Structure 1
Amino acid sequence: MTETQHVPAGRLGDPAHTLGTDPRADPRMVAVFGALGALDHPAPAPLTAQASREELLAFVDAAEEGFEGLFTVLGQDWAPVDGVTREHRTITGAGGHEIGLHIHRPEGGTGPLPVIYQVHGGGMVMLQTEGPLYTHWRDELAAAGTVVVGVEYRNGGGVRGPHPFPAGLEDCAAGLQWVHAHLAELGGTHITVTGDSGGGNLALALAIKARREGWGEVIAGVYAQCPYILGTWDKPPAELHSLWENDKYWLDRALFPLLATVYDPEGAHVDDPTCWPLRARTPDLTGLPPHIISTSELDPLRDEGLAYHRMLLAAGVPSVGKINLGLCHVGELLFREAMPDVYAEAVRDVTGFAKSLA
C-alpha cells in the first residue's frame, strides 16, 4: 500500500474509522477511552520533522506532559499490589552522571529468582521509570515471583533530556551490566530484558549491542512489547500495513518521525540496528537469545514488530510473535481495572517467559 492508494469505505484502513468505530476494538477499551474523550483521531501534529530542534524539543515536552497525565488518570483507581518491597539504587554512568535503578522484590521470596530488567517506553525521548504506570507494572511482575529492576535512563528529550542516541542505550547497558554483576546480592539467577514501545526498541537494541561487544551471555531472553523500531517514515515499507490501517488510533504515525528526529538528529544513525533494530541484518541477529515480540492488533506499530520477529526466525533465533486482539498500542499495560484478564495475562506471559529461561 502507498500513500496515494484508495481504501474502500468501511474497509480496514478507511480514514472514516476511529478507534471507537473499528469493529475489532475491544469494547472495554472503547469505554475507557470514550470516558476520557480519546476515541477520535488526535489533532494533527503542529510541526514536521523539519522544524528546528528547539521546536521539536518543546513539542516533546508538551507530549510528555500529556502522556504522563493520561497514565496518571488511567492508574488512579488501581489497587496497590501487596507483598512487594521497593528499593532505589543509584549507579554512576561512564560520563559520571547518575543512573537510577528501581528494584522491586516479592516479600518472603525463597531461593534465587529470575530477574526482569524493565525499560520504560516513550519513544526513547520521554516518560520516566517512576511514573505510576511503570511502577505498578513492576510491582505486578515482582508479585508474580521475580526480581524486577527498572532503569531510569537519559531520554532524548523531555524532563530527562535532551540526550540523543546513544545516551539512553548506554545507560541501559550500564544498568544491565551492574545488575548482572550483582545477581547474587539481588537474589537473582538470570536476566530477561523487557520493554514497551521505545523501551521495546531499547530492549532489542541491548541484545544486539551486547552480542556486538562480546557480553551477550548477560541476557537470557528479550520480551519486547509493541516495539518502535523502524527509524524513518518518509517512505515506509509498503508491507507495514498497520501504519495505514491503524493510523491515528490513539497514536498518529505523523508523531513517529518527530520523536525519531529528537532521538537521532538528522538521521545520523538510521542504519545502525542499535538505534533502529529493524535495520538489523542476519549477522546482527545470529546467536541472540530467545525473544518474544508482542504486538497489538490496533497499533500503527504492529507490523514492524512482526517484521522483526520474522527476521529473528530467519536468523535462527528462537522467537514467538504475538498479536493482542482488539488492543491499541501497549493496551495490555493500560487497562488494569477495565480489562483485568488482559493485564493478568500480560503479567503471566512476561514472568512465565523469564522463569522458562532458567
Structure 2
Amino acid sequence: MLPGKLGNPGATLATDPRLDPRLVRAMSAGGDLPAPGGLPIPGNDASYEDCLAYCAAYEESQTALHPHAWSAMPEFPNVSTTTETITGTDGNDITLHIHTPATPTTACVVHLHGGGMVMMTAEDPSNVRWRNSLASAGLVVVGVEFRNGGGRLGVHPYPAGLNDCASATRWAYANKSGLGVSSIIVSGESGGANLAIATALKANTAGWADEIDGVYAMCPYISGDYANPPDSLASLIENEGYLIGPEMMAALVRVYDPEAKHTQDPLAWPWHAGLDELRALPPHVISVNELDPLRDEGIEFYRRLLAAGVPAVGRTVHGTPHAGDKSFPDMIGDVFAETIGSVCAFARSLNDDSTGSGSRR
C-alpha cells in the first residue's frame, strides 16, 4: 500500500502508522491541528489581504501556546545571552540574539527561524530553546530577527527578510574574532532553511561566498510551487495536511511575493536555482522529515547540489512531521538531541580538513 494519502486519501497525521508512537499519544485527544485561529485556510484565489489575515491568525494561535512553552523551558546554566542591534543594507535595525557557551568553541551558527518568511519571531520560545540547546552543545549561535513578509513584525515582502539575513551573516563573519569563532554556518528550518540557502546563493552572486563555511537546511520550504505543484513532489500529496499543506503554503507564498514577480527567482525560491547557480556553494546538509509535505523538494534539491559538485549530505528524520525534530523536544527528546548533535557535528567538521568535507579555506 502506498504511504500516507497516496494509499489512503482519508489518512491524517494522527492515524498514519509511520508517525512516532510518542507523537501519536500526544495527539490522541485532538488529532490533526485545526485551521489556526479558527480561520479557514485561504484558497488559491484568495486575496492578498485574506492571506495577511491568515498569517496574523496563525501567529496569534501560536502565541497562545507560548506560556506553556516558557514554563517547560529547561535551564541553560552554561549559556550566556546578549543582544546586538545592527543596521541592515536597507537602513533598518536588525536585532541579533547571541548565545555563547561557557566552553570555548570554534564555530558559529547564524540561525534563521521558520515561519515561511512571513511570520513568527526569533523571540518565540521554540526558537530561544533551539538556540540555547545548540549553544549548550558548544556552538555560538546568532539568532536573527529579520523582517517578515507579514505578521506582527510588519509587512515586508521579499527581499526584505533575505537582505536582513545577509546583513546578519556578514556581521557574524566580520566579528568572528569577537565571537571567538573561526567558521560561520547558516542554518534554519522551513522558511528559515529557504533563507539560509538563499543567503548562500546571494553571497555567491555578490562575491562574498567565502564568508559562509556551510549551510544546514532543515525541512526546506523552497519551491514556491504549491498552488500548482509538479508531479515530482509527491510528498505534497502523500503528507497533505500533516500540520501543513499546499493550500496553507500557497497563502504564505502570496504574502512573501504579493505580485508573483519572483516565482522563478532562486533568491526567493532556491529550488529554481540552476546547476551553474549552485556551483561553488559551500557544503550543505539537507535534513527532511519523513511525514512532511516538503520532504521531496528537499531531497530533490539535495540531489541537484550533488549534480552541481557541491559537498552535500542528505538526512531523513523518520517518524516526524514538518520540523518535528525541532518542535517537540519534550515528546521526542532523543530525536531533538540527535538533530542538535548533527548540526554540531557538521559545524565542527568545517574546521577539520581531515574529514575531507571541511572548510573551503
**TM-score bin (small chain):** over 0.9
* Higher mean C-alpha displacement, 50-59 vs 269-278: 50-59
| Alpha-carbon offset, residue 252 of structure 1 | 2.5
Partner of residue 95 from structure 1, selected from 64, 87, 90: 90
1:248–1:46 Cα change, 3 Å: closer
Supply the distance in 2 between the matched residues of 1:38 and 1:151 (Cα, whole angstroms): 33
Q: Find the aligned partners of 1:44 and 1:159 in 2 and give their Cα distance.
A: 17
Q: Aligned match of 2:291 in 284, 287, 298?
A: 298
Q: CA deviation at 1:74?
A: 5.0
1:329 aligns with 2:322: yes
* 2:46 alignment counterpart: 51
For residues 169 and 336 of structure 1, the distance between their equivalents in structure 2, rounded to whole angstroms, comes to 28
In structure 1, what is the equivalent of residue 271 of structure 2? 278
How far apart, in 1, do the equivalents of 2:138 and 2:166 lie?
24
TM-score of the superposition, structure 1-length normalised?
0.93
Note if contact 2:81-2:99 (Cα within 8 Å) is conserved in structure 1.
yes
Q: CA RMSD in A?
A: 1.9
Q: Which 4+ residue blocks in structure 1 deviate beyond 6 angstroms?
A: 7-11
Which residue does 1:60 correspond to in 2?
A: 55
Residue type of the alignment partner of 2:291: L
Contact 2:227 2:246 in 1 (8 A): no
Tell me the CA shift for residue 153 of structure 1. Answer: 0.3
Structure 1: state its 5+ residue gaps: 1-6
| 1:197 matched to 2:190 | yes
Contact 2:5 2:238 in 1 (8 A): no
Q: Which residue among 230, 237, 244 is the counterpart of 1:237? A: 230
User: What is the 5 A alignment of 1:1-358?
Assistant: 12-35=6-29, 37-39=30-32, 42=35, 45-70=40-65, 73-74=68-69, 76-107=71-102, 109-110=103-104, 112-358=105-351
Question: In the TM superposition, what is the alpha-carbon distance from 1:31 to its structure 2 partner?
Answer: 1.9
**C-alpha displacement at 1:302, in angstroms?**
0.5
Q: Is the 8 A contact 1:156 1:168 kept in 2?
A: yes
Q: Secondary structure at the match of 2:154?
A: coil
1:89-125 deviations in Å (ceiling 9; x for gaps): 0011123211010000012x23x52001100000000
Offset of 1:314 from its aligned partner? Answer: 0.6
* 2:259 alignment partner, SS class: helix
Q: After superposition, what is the alpha-carbon deviation per residue over 1:166-200, rounded to whole angstroms, capped at 9, x for unaligned? A: 00000000111111111101111110110000000
Residues 10 and 318 of structure 1: is their aligned pair in 2 closer, same or farther, counting only changes over 3 Å? closer
Range 48-57 or range 15-24, more displaced: 48-57
Percent of aligned pairs with the same amino acid: 46
TM-score, with length taken from structure 2: 0.92
Change (3 A) 1:170 1:62: same
